[in-house]
Structure 1
Amino acid sequence: MSRAFVFPGQGAQTIGMGRELAEAYPAAKAVFDEVDDALNLKLSALIWEGEQDELTLTKNAQPALMATSLAAFRALEAEGVKITDAAYVAGHSLGEYSALAAAGALSVADAARLLRTRGEAMQSAVPVGIGAMAALLGLDFKTAAEVAREAAQGEVCQAANDNDPAQVVVSGHKAAVERAVEIAKEKGAKRAVLLPVSAPFHCSLMAPAAEVMAGALARIEMGVPKVPLIANVVAEPVHAGHEIEQLLVEQVTGSVRWRESVLWMAHHGVDEIWEIGAGKALSGMIRRIEKSVACRAVGTPDEVKAAAESLQG
């Protein structure tokens, strides 16, 4: 059996995530402590006892989700699971930073600081109310991209997330995205709805944030991951640190090619994927992309133990 470890993106955050892991595994608690120290703030207190609205702020959600994923991964390591038990790692948007930290290419502290910077830069790239994102359900990527082009009308509207065969997210100027919602319905979308997000991620409006991330990534040491990363913007494996840095910059304005990434892994022998961290959104997408791939969510102590035991069977 060949497996991949994947790491969730924004939207999976919930108050209390990772707390049971921190209580059960000292190595998991150490991750939250390391993130708190790196950011010089008690992010763990916000994650476990704060308000959902504050946790959902992009600058908080991004490092918080990475911390929870890495806590789950350290718990797995405490149970004898190794990164090399996976053939590949991948992450959805910010989840790429979690994947790189798990694979040893980034320190947890660097990942936390980069994601805090990324969250702040993405939030400030576009004034509130100027941009929007919408989920188009029931349209394939090609059709959704055509909808976005038709809706643009001189503004920005791009297919931002190719999540699964029937879910594509478009991003851009608010009026253009609203036009895309209506056009999508005319083209047979089952549903087309605006998303409750604070900025239009993964489109060209994020160019100022991409510049910020280019500078931030240039200041850190990106190592070689112990297993290849399936990168969002190319949907194939990358190994070299300098190439990964460039793709992380491109990812800010580029499409998250998740459907293609999962298909690439499935076509290259992966038949089991573990979603490590908060929530089970990626598992749902993966099942819709390729039914032959078995999915396992790993976000609680019980799930960590069950996952580790599955390797010993």
Structure 2
Amino acid sequence: MNLAFLYAGQGSQHAGMGQDLYEIYPLFRQILDDAPVDFDLKKLCFEGPEDQLSQTRYTQPCMVAFAAGVTALLKERGIVPQAAAGLSLGEYSALQAAGVFTPREAIALAAFRGKAMEEAAQGMESAMYAVLNLDRNTLEEVCRKASEKGPVYLANYNCPGQIVIGGGREGAEEACRLALEAGARRCLPLKVSGPFHTPLMAPAGKALEEHFAGLSFGEMAFPVYFNCLGRPKTAEETIPQLLVRQVQTSVYMEDTIRHMADAGIDTIVEVGPGKALSGFVKKTAPHIRTIPVETAQQLEDAVTLLKKEN
């Protein structure tokens, strides 16, 4: 068995996430209790309200704290992957799992990133849409044409048949109209507060670049597949540079899954609320088995299964 961890990103959060894990496992409880944030992280994760939990500055540290707790519980049971990746924000959790950050460092970075992204989007009329059943080349041409009305970009290559676009509201809406004309099945609006993973997030990238200058980064214990590459980094590429790029360029999740499959990964544990990433894996590399871990019961089931096969 060749195992990878795949970490959920912003958008899958919900009130109640992690509550059963917190009540049962002291190690999970310790990580959430120790979170270096200026709000009641546990209360927000467990009770909401949903509208506050969905605000970028709160979502990001909450999700990374949850992921760090689950990662620690899996490691405690001897479940360690050969590789990891994460969707957008989830990349920070993948790096934490690989030893680049401690849980406290990863949560603090997520809090900084969330605030920087919120501030970059303030006052901006923006929109993001998931475009279904249109190929990359066609959608790239659609966005080029729609850019005459306003900036719009391909933000997330999630899986075959699902690509997210984002930009200024007028450009994004025009791209949706043209995409439907070109044969897209649907364009689904996303509930996000800014045009994430587009050049319009450059101010957030600048803020991260300045922030990273004062930080140290640990060595990776195993490969992490980076969003902006769709593959592990080379020796010449640095983690700070890639994280700065990540916030303002496309996320290549489909490419990540394909490259993991090519490297022999045959089992993926999806860490985080929901099963969106398992859906991406099924559509991209259906031979890879996916195991979701969000609840205490799922954790126990995953550990039992994986230890039996090791």
Report if aligned partners of 1:62, 1:116 keep a CA contact under 8 Å in 2. yes
Is residue 300 of structure 2 the alignment partner of residue 302 of structure 1? no
1:39 aligned counterpart, secondary structure: coil
2:41 maps to which of 31, 40, 43: 43
How much has 1:17 moved relative to structure 2?
A: 0.3
More moved, 240-249 vs 41-50 = 240-249
Please give the alpha-carbon distance, in whole angstroms, between the structure 1 residues aligned to 2:171 and 2:237: 35
- Alignment correspondent of 1:275: 270
Is residue 216 of structure 2 the alignment partner of residue 221 of structure 1? yes
Is residue 95 of structure 2 the alignment partner of residue 95 of structure 1? no
- Alignment correspondent of 1:65: 63
More moved, 26-35 vs 88-97 = 26-35
Show structure 1 runs of 4+ deviating over 3 A.
239-242
1:136 aligned counterpart, secondary structure: strand
Please give the alpha-carbon distance, in whole angstroms, between the structure 2 residues aligned to 1:307 and 1:266: 20
1:125 aligned counterpart, secondary structure: helix
Counterpart AA for 2:52: E
Report if aligned partners of 1:162, 1:259 keep a CA contact under 8 Å in 2. yes
Please give the alpha-carbon distance, in whole angstroms, between the structure 1 residues aligned to 2:122 and 2:201: 11
How much has 1:238 moved relative to structure 2?
A: 2.5
- Alignment correspondent of 2:166: 171
Is residue 281 of structure 2 the alignment partner of residue 286 of structure 1? yes
- Alignment correspondent of 1:24: 24
More moved, 68-77 vs 239-248 = 239-248
How much has 1:111 moved relative to structure 2?
A: 1.2
Q: Deviations over 1:128-152 (max 9, x none)?
A: 4511111101112222222111111
1:188 aligned counterpart, secondary structure: coil
Report if aligned partners of 2:121, 2:193 keep a CA contact under 8 Å in 1. no
Report if aligned partners of 2:56, 2:114 keep a CA contact under 8 Å in 1. yes
Please give the alpha-carbon distance, in whole angstroms, between the structure 1 residues aligned to 2:191 and 2:304: 39
1:162 aligned counterpart, secondary structure: strand
Report if aligned partners of 2:267, 2:289 keep a CA contact under 8 Å in 1. yes
Is residue 187 of structure 2 the alignment partner of residue 189 of structure 1? no
Counterpart AA for 1:28: F
2:9 aligned counterpart, secondary structure: coil
2:120 maps to which of 120, 125, 144: 125
Is residue 133 of structure 2 the alignment partner of residue 135 of structure 1? no
More moved, 236-245 vs 193-202 = 236-245
Aligned alpha-carbon RMSD (Å): 1.5
- Give TM-score scaled by structure 2 length: 0.96
Counterpart AA for 1:22: Y
Gap change, CA 1:234 and 1:242, over 3 Å in 2: closer
Q: Percent identity?
A: 37
